[in-house]
Structure 1
């Protein structure tokens, strides 16, 4: 191959490497505006407080939690560029199918980083009777960033209405997929007050008294780093009613995690996407860069070699000057 052709091909590969890294990858590494997903968690032997007038006590049962997340296309189209608006509904049921609680939220977040964006009427509504409460979210909301790093991230919690540090713990294997494990711990925190019958919190009488609502949670995330998607998740929740900092009744104590079927479905859905993003962001542009540099260098050296050979041949063929 002629030296100019080698140099030209090398330059083409350098440009291609830059386009793949800085144009193609950012186009691919974005969450969808039309998100439509269901995730399922379960807990065995959870403790919940029965509000049945005949009971009014702590009872043990298995729980099933369904999170439905859908993109709000209209709100996303009206949002700032690169911002997605998703709505989430969480329904908690017992194994008999009775709905124990349901909450709804709307959150705006960056399509690439997954960080909350303050716009678009973001809210949280804990139950049907209570109205929506506007919130200004921060940190990660639904997922981790594309290209998740081995460092801590701030994760938003709708109960404490604040972020908690999700600390990187280790890189591990989850059914053949490489994932990063993060842990976010919320110590027991008073998140509000309510009235409760005195008898259920160990006080005399049945007249309602004001008690504190305390909440604690330890979240563990297993995150696929190329996509930032949570492949598995565990929530160790503990909510109580307190008086003067002393637990008097447990309202929720549950060890929730994605079902085995949910984890398998997540791996099946994101395994190929993760591999593609990893190649586009890493190996493909790197190989194109290295090959491009080698071709340019080879073309330049070959060109100089030919010039040198040509010059030597010309001088040797000249007749000696006459004196």
Structure 2
């Protein structure tokens, strides 16, 4: 009698070896390459809160009014493909009740357009492709992948510079846990603006270059650990005008004790974070572990069947 391997044993052995090879490839090769900032984004986030702001029609500061900040991030896919970077165009509109009703960012209380270019793997800024402003830091619209329990440098567009955000434990957003980071900005001069002298206590001067000052004592971000997506953001900006060389503010341009993502925005950001995180977890953990375990079992069964073989009579 002689023994020959059955087709089933060879198939089981082959599949087992394939799965054993696939498992580390998914974890060490495929998953790191999946950690790339997307280029085809189209995401709108909305902050709401109350505060005071300077009403240009009445030339006075009004108080306890709703304030809405709408930010739309739109990926420039063509520029991203040409450069190999993530190129995002960012529109940010600050609205009062009057301007919000117009539904036109160009007629909002304040509207800015920015172009952000980042390395898709590290999230570091890349100075190319019409980037504006030329920003620095480790994070802005998102954090790097695999967020660590440490401080990060965060770019503040109003400040025109980076600030330090410190890790402050965890916090749940819509029932989903993320890392919490906080920071603040001391009152800082950010530029000048030509205004009538009487606005800043200089009635004898028709026009002056008043100093613009900015502070923020309530920055809080809750970030998904795996993807770096910001699931909730809270900010407390204060923008004022001072007479040239003065020590105190004369006009409050904008002051809010707290602008925060709306509940709808929070749910949307959490849903996106969950989906992206689950995909990365599957590539880096779930599928490799399952494939490795299945590969061991199938490979072992295949080896046993090959060793046993199938008895056949020896040829005469």
Short-chain TM bin: 0.7 to 0.9
Match of residue 61, structure 2, among 37, 58, 64: 58
Q: TM-score, normalised by structure 2?
A: 0.79
| Alignment of 1:246 onto 2:248 | yes
1:64-79 map, 5 Å? 64-79=68-83
| Alignment of 1:22 onto 2:5 | no
Q: What's the offset of the Cα at 1:171?
A: 1.4
SS in 1 for 2:121: coil
SS in 2 for 1:246: coil
Unaligned segments of structure 1, at least 5 residues = 125-134, 307-323
Q: What's the offset of the Cα at 1:231?
A: 0.9
Does the 8 A contact of 2:13 with 2:298 survive in 1?
A: yes
The count of aligned residue pairs is: 288
1:1-323 map, 5 Å? 12-44=18-50, 46-52=51-57, 55-60=58-63, 61-79=65-83, 81=84, 83-96=85-98, 97=101, 99-124=108-133, 135-205=134-204, 207-217=206-216, 218-242=218-242, 243-254=245-256, 255-286=258-289
Unaligned segments of structure 2, at least 5 residues = 103-107, 309-316
Q: Which runs of 4+ in 1 moved over 3 A?
A: 3-14, 203-206, 282-296
Cα RMSD for the two superposed structures: 3.0
Residue range with higher mean Cα deviation, 170-179 or 280-289 = 280-289
Distance in 2 separating the partners of 1:278 and 1:216:
39
Does the 8 A contact of 1:155 with 1:166 survive in 2?
A: yes
Question: Are the structure 2 counterparts of residues 167 and 288 from structure 1 closer, same or farther at C-alpha, using a change threshold of 3 Å?
Answer: farther
Relative contact order, higher structure (CA 8 A, sep 6+): 2
Q: TM-score, normalised by structure 1?
A: 0.78
SS in 1 for 2:138: coil
**Rg larger for:** 1
